[in-house]
Amino acid sequence: QKEVEQNSGPLSVPEGAIASLNCTYSDRGSQSFFWYRQYSGKSPELIMSIYSNGDKEDGRFTAQLNKASQYVSLLIRDSQPSDSATYLCAVIAAGNKLTFGGGTRVLVKP
In terms of Cα–Cα distance, which of 1, 3, 6 is closest to 74? 6
Give every CB contact of residue 64 below 8 A, 6+ residues apart in sequence.
Answer: 50, 54, 55, 56, 72, 73, 74, 75
Q: Among residues 17 and 93, whose Cβ is nearest to other proteins?
A: 93
Residue 1 touches other proteins, criterion: CB under 8 A: no
Residue 2 touches other proteins, criterion: CB under 8 A: no
Residue 42 touches other proteins, criterion: CB under 8 A: yes
Give every CB contact of residue 69 below 8 A, 6+ residues apart in sequence.
Answer: none
Residue 59 touches other proteins, criterion: CB under 8 A: no
Residue 88 touches other proteins, criterion: CB under 8 A: yes
# of chain residues touching other proteins (CB under 8 A): 21
- 3-class SS string, 21-53: EEEEECCCCCCEEEEEEECCCCCCEEEEEECCC
Residue 95 touches other proteins, criterion: CB under 8 A: yes
At its nearest, how many Å lie between other proteins and the CB of residue 18?
A: 26
Residue 77 touches other proteins, criterion: CB under 8 A: no
Residues that bind other proteins (CB under 8 A): 32, 34, 41-46, 49, 88, 90, 92, 95-103
